[in-house]
Structure 1
Amino acid sequence: MITGTVKWFNADKGYGFIAVEGQDDVFVHISAVQESGLTLKEDMKVSFEKQQGNNGKFSAVNLVIAT
């Protein structure tokens, strides 16, 4: 799993981004957040897997609180 820090997440917009040191920010969709049962907050440390979508871009899935 990859560990990063929530850069920002807006539940009303339904998405946000996770910052990963030395890599591009990773998109996170509200469906992945809801599936995880987490409430994302700015600067929260999370671990996740990256999944490539049909558009070729990556998004965060299987989110858990980083330990």
Structure 2
Amino acid sequence: MEENTLIHSKKIIKTVAIVVGANLQNKMIFFVLFSKFFVNSLRNFLISFKFVGFKTKRLTK
């Protein structure tokens, strides 16, 4: 009886670990994708900002 519950609890723990691991992996993938997107948009923003600043500087001279 006790051995069966032990095996059962081990199975439950394994399942929980697999589910949690999958969720963590998905979160990591999402985080990586999000950070890549964020960095790209930030870089594009900075480039356009520099470009606008450059244009306005040339116009004011």
Give yes or no for TM over 0.5.
no
Which structure ranks higher in relative contact order (CA pairs < 8 Å, sequence separation ≥ 6)? 1
TM-score of the superposition, structure 2-length normalised? 0.16
**Larger strand proportion of the pair:** 1
**Larger helix proportion of the pair:** 2
TM-score of the superposition, structure 1-length normalised? 0.15
Larger Rg belongs to: 2
